[in-house]
Amino acid sequence: MRILGIDPGIAIVGFGFIDKNGSKLTPVQYGCIQTEAHTPEEERLLHVYEGMLQLIDRYKPEAVALEKLFFNRNVTTAMSVGQARGVLVLAAVQRGLAVAEYTPMQVKQAIVGYGKAEKKQVQEMVRMYLKLSAVPKPDDVADALAVAVCHAHSYTLNSKINEVLRK
């Protein structure tokens, strides 16, 4: 199964495609979609949307996982990120993909085993899970890969739970 993990943003959208084959996770492609700071917001959103459609069409994921929004004190930033998240979900749904969402705490729990783990711990575990030579940069890319790995683990667990419930 190919999974696309996304760390939503208006300036930087981190993305990471991984393949899950049994318990083996393999990185396929990862990076970010960036928008220019002084560009009108609607143009930035269009750039994010079109960029995500191109990535989905090229790498053909079977599942999409996004990090849920974490609201901080800056409402303006939260609104912009929320709009970017909306166009990312729209791109996935238009391509017929199911979208799973995970809170930052759920991602940390799945990756490190502790929901309040430090960012550096999560990044290092992602590097180790995917056998990467270095932690991907910028942080948004590592975060997107963490979301993809979280979904890979959660998908396996949820599949087993559903199997038991069907019996």
Binding residues for Mg(2+), by number, are 7, 67, 140
Contacts of 74 (CB under 8 A, 6+ apart): none
Q: How far is CA 164 from the centre of its chain?
A: 28
Contact 140, 9 (CB under 8 A): yes
In the set 124, 140, 143, 163, the catalytic residue is 140
* Diameter over CA atoms, the chain: 56
Rounded distance between C-alpha atoms, residue 35 and residue 95, angstroms: 23
Contact 59, 29 (CB under 8 A): yes
Question: Phi and psi dihedrals of 13, rounded to 5?
Answer: -110, 115
Catalytic status, residue 7: yes
Catalytic status, residue 143: no
Amino acid type, 46: L
In the set 42, 57, 67, 118, the catalytic residue is 67
Q: Which two tokens stand for residue 157?
A: 């667990």
In the set 7, 41, 62, 143, the catalytic residue is 7
Annotated binding site: 7, 67, 140
Query: Catalytic residue positions?
Result: 7, 67, 140
